[in-house]
Amino acid sequence: MTKKIINLLILLPLGIILIIFCVANRQSVTLALNPFRPEDQVLSLSAPLFVLLFVALIIGMLVGAAVTWFNQGKHRKLARSQSREAVRWQAEADKHRNRAEQIAGQLPSK
């Protein structure tokens, strides 16, 4: 319940701010990707400003997530290796426990 209230207190104002931002920046702008000839229509894109900003934000988030994922690869590899080793040690411990129980069962009772 508390989590829902906190989300509502954060997401509702953020949503209102984003809607106001979108309404205020509806005018169309041209993004020129050719620095030598900005008037070139082939390498330019016309769209509302808020659309271009949201696309830039989404691309930035995807690139950041990919970089983080690749940088953490060594940690995931180490975790997989340690997990396999833990399973192997557990199987060996179970084998020794079973062998000890067999030996204990074969000893004569006093």
Per the structure, the count of domains in the chain is 1
- Distance from C-alpha of 45 to C-alpha of 51, rounded to nearest angstrom: 11
Confidence band of 4 (pLDDT split at 50, 70, 90): confident
Look at residue 19 and tell me if it is in a domain: no
Report the interhelical angle of 49-71 vs 73-106 (nearest 10°): 40
Residue pair 31/59 in contact by the 8 Å Cβ criterion:
no
57-101 pLDDT per residue, tens: 999 999 999 999 999 999 999 999 999 999 999 999 999 999 998
pLDDT for residue 81 = 96
- Where does the chain show beta strands of DSSP type E? 28-32, 44-48
Look at residue 22 and tell me if it is in a domain: no
pLDDT for residue 43 = 86
Global confidence as pTM: 0.62
Look at residue 8 and tell me if it is in a domain: no
Ramachandran area for residue 45 (φ above 0: left; ψ -120 to 50: alpha; else beta): beta
